[in-house]
């Protein structure tokens, strides 16, 4: 007897992954009421009858990331372990970590075993040269925990994976956190590990150089969403040299988190670099359906209109993007050029004045407009 679903997988490998998962858990276990907690509220399952459901790929990955027993099915699918899963290369690091935790607890018998002080000690051990000696490196490639153990460097997602592994091993219940606005009030694209202690979330954020950095706005993610970011970042690493493979990795990220506007926009830019304007536009518009104020997608749609000579349409997109991110000089610069080419000299001068008030180094635009008689 088959499962009570209409299987809606976009490729045969996902169907194969579903079959592998079914060897370990039942259909009823997979249909456990998972829901996305990502960027926009969405109904991830449409119910036709009490026994006829849709099962999309993001729900499949929700089940996989929530159950350690399914890790082998994922390894068969992805040709690598789940990125926060410790393998052979991590064992020496974990033995050292266990020894540190045991020594600290013996030396601090009055501290709670899973309190803030122990968590702060884990944070310090990861960074301390006498501990793991992990270094913040924004240029590092996206890595699994096993790769991190050998490189001891990485960016925000590497630290998040590592802290999730170590804090869980020490008895905490860590989770990934999406930072939307950082401690300085700036818009951010940033992931950290979080731990809830006594009803308060503590953030482990070496990129900003602080234990429990006071970020102004953040949201808890699921492990599925962290997995999707792993594949998105893998694609970013190779998109300048292996564009076709990068597009396939963006597609994998979207199989895991199909409504993430960042992934849609990133894949759209890869399509655009390949000359596929229609596919790029579809992804940018899909990003805006998910998140209507996603100014990055508006900017790219404006660029498509600009390159096609639709200067008034481009200016409308650039103005909308500026309204959402007023300090972005790329948006303002392109608006000036779009207005100029649309023959709207007065509007172009006003937009240039607003740009120069933010960034006086853009004076080259004044020369461009003067030489064109604007």
Domain range summary for the chain, segments of one domain joined by +: 5-78, 88-221, 293-374
The pLDDT of residue 292 is 92
**Residues 340, 372 contacting (CB under 8 angstroms):** yes
* DSSP structural state of residue 89: G
Place of tokens 């033995």: 95
Token pair for 109: 């018998």
In the structure, what pLDDT confidence band is assigned to residue 48 with cuts at 50, 70 and 90?
A: very low
Half-sphere exposure of 237 (CA within 13 A, CB side): 15
Residue 4 has pLDDT above 60, yes or no: no
In the structure, what pLDDT confidence band is assigned to residue 26 with cuts at 50, 70 and 90?
A: low
Q: Where are the alpha helices (DSSP H) in the chain?
A: 12-22, 27-30, 57-66, 71-78, 91-107, 116-127, 145-151, 156-169, 223-238, 243-256, 261-273, 277-290, 295-307, 311-324, 329-341, 345-358, 364-371
List pLDDT tens digits, range 282-296: 999 999 999 999 999
Residue 169 has pLDDT above 90, yes or no: yes
Domain 88-221 has CATH 1.10.4160.10: no
Q: Could you tell me what percent of the chain has a pLDDT over 90?
A: 71
The pLDDT of residue 281 is 97
Q: Could you tell me what percent of the chain has a pLDDT over 70?
A: 89
Residue 192 has pLDDT above 90, yes or no: yes
Residue 33 has pLDDT above 70, yes or no: no
Measure the CA–CA gap between 18 and 37, rounded to whole angstroms.
Answer: 22
Query: pTM (2 decimals)?
Result: 0.89
List pLDDT tens digits, range 353-367: 899 898 888 777 777
pLDDT, averaged across the chain: 88
The pLDDT of residue 371 is 57
First to last CA, the chain: 73
Residue 1 has pLDDT above 60, yes or no: no
Find the angle CA(95)-CA(64)-CA(256) to the nearest 5 degrees.
115
The pLDDT of residue 184 is 94
Residues in Cβ contact with 337 at an 8 Å cutoff, skipping those fewer than 6 apart: 306, 348, 365, 368
3-state secondary structure of 37: coil
In the structure, what pLDDT confidence band is assigned to residue 2 with cuts at 50, 70 and 90?
A: low
**In terms of C-beta density within 10 A (0-12 exposed, 13-18 middle, 19 or more buried), how is residue 151 classed?**
middle
The pLDDT of residue 3 is 57
CA separation, residue 253 to residues 37, 105, 267, 354 (Å): 16, 40, 10, 38
The pLDDT of residue 56 is 75
Please name the fold of domain 293-374. Answer: 1.25.40
Q: What is the mean pLDDT of residues 63-85?
A: 90
The pLDDT of residue 59 is 80
In the structure, what pLDDT confidence band is assigned to residue 142 with cuts at 50, 70 and 90?
A: very high
Residue 191 has pLDDT above 80, yes or no: yes
């Amino acid at each position: 007897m088959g499962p009570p679903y209409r299987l809606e997988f976009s490729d045969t490998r996902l169907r194969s992954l579903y079959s592998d998962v079914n060897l370990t858990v039942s259909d009823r276990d997979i249909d456990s009421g998972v829901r996305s907690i990502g960027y926009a509220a969405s109904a991830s399952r449409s119910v036709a009858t009490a026994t006829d459901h849709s099962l999309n790929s993001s729900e499949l990955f929700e089940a996989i990331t929530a159950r350690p027993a399914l890790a082998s099915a994922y390894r068969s699918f992805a040709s690598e372990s789940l990125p926060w899963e410790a393998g052979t290369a991590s064992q020496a690091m974990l033995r050292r970590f266990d020894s540190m935790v045991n020594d600290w607890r013996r030396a601090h018998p009055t501290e709670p075993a899973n309190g803030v002080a122990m968590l702060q000690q884990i944070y310090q051990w990861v960074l301390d040269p006498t501990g793991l000696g992990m270094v913040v490196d924004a240029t590092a490639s996206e890595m699994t925990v096993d790769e991190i153990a050998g490189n001891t460097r990485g960016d925000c997602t590497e630290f998040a994976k590592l802290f999730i592994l170590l804090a869980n091993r020490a008895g905490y219940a860590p989770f990934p956190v999406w930072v939307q606005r950082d401690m300085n009030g700036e818009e951010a694209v940033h992931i950290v590990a979080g731990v809830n202690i006594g009803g308060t979330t503590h953030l482990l954020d070496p990129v900003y150089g602080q234990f429990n950095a006071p970020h102004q706005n953040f949201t808890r993610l699921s492990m599925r969403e962290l997995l999707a970011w792993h594949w998105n970042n893998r694609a970013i690493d190779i998109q300048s040299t292996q564009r076709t493979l990068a597009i396939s990795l963006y597609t994998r990220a979207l199989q895991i988190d199909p409504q993430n506007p960042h992934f849609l926009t990133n894949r759209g830019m890869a399509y655009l670099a390949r000359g596929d304007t229609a596919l790029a536009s579809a992804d940018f518009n899909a990003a805006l359906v998910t998140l209507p104020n996603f100014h990055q997608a508006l900017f790219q749609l404006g660029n498509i209109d600009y390159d096609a000579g639709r200067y008034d349409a481009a200016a409308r997109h650039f103005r909308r993007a500026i309204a959402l991110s007023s300090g972005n000089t790329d948006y303002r610069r392109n608006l000036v050029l779009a207005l100029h080419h649309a023959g709207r000299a007065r509007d172009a001068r006003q937009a240039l004045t607003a740009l120069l008030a933010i960034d006086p180094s853009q004076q080259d635009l004044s020369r461009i407009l003067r030489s064109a008689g604007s």
